[in-house]
Amino acid sequence: MYGRINLKNTNYKLLENDWHIEKFPDEQLIQQIYKDYCRHKKFKSVMPIFSSELRDEKNDIILYKDNGKVVAFSILRRYDDKNVEAIQFAWNYENPAMRLGIESLKHECAFYKSKGFDYLYLGGADEYKRKIEGFEILGPI
């Protein structure tokens, strides 16, 4: 099953001072964070991150910092001015207390809602995603 967030039904706030959108992020840094994330999660198989994803004008790359150091990223695809999809998130888990997996998602809801978007598509309807305000299961067309 696939899920999305109806942003009108959310009330999250932006994270303060520890994030930014980067047009052309350091690819080595992104790949290292992704590698650390996959190891931490013990994924048996993963989709690679392609250089073209990091350079695509339709994608936003949000970098998250801890004490000035980039520790996480999200890749989000803008389909139009109302619909955006969370394609990939990863972080290095150096400071698990940050709870960046869930806090980044709340932040992204607040950010795209503030930009006038209606929906944030999430892909698979994982259990932790179902706890986000505005969560909906996509039905058949």
pLDDT in tens, the chain (141 residues): 899 999 999 999 999 879 999 999 999 999 999 999 999 999 999 999 999 999 999 999 999 999 999 999 999 999 999 999 999 999 999 999 999 989 999 999 999 999 999 999 998 888 888 899 999 999 887
Give the pLDDT confidence score for residue 126 in this predicted structure: 86
Q: Which of 64, 106, 69, 72 minimizes the C-alpha distance to 91?
A: 72
> 67: left (phi > 0), else alpha (psi -120 to 50), else beta?
left
Domain 2-137: give its CATH code: 3.40.630.30
Question: CA separation (Å) from 137 to 19, 78, 83, 104, 106?
Answer: 29, 20, 15, 20, 18
Give the pLDDT confidence score for residue 127 in this predicted structure: 85
Phi, psi angle pair for 72, to nearest 5°: -155, 160
pTM for the complete prediction?
A: 0.94
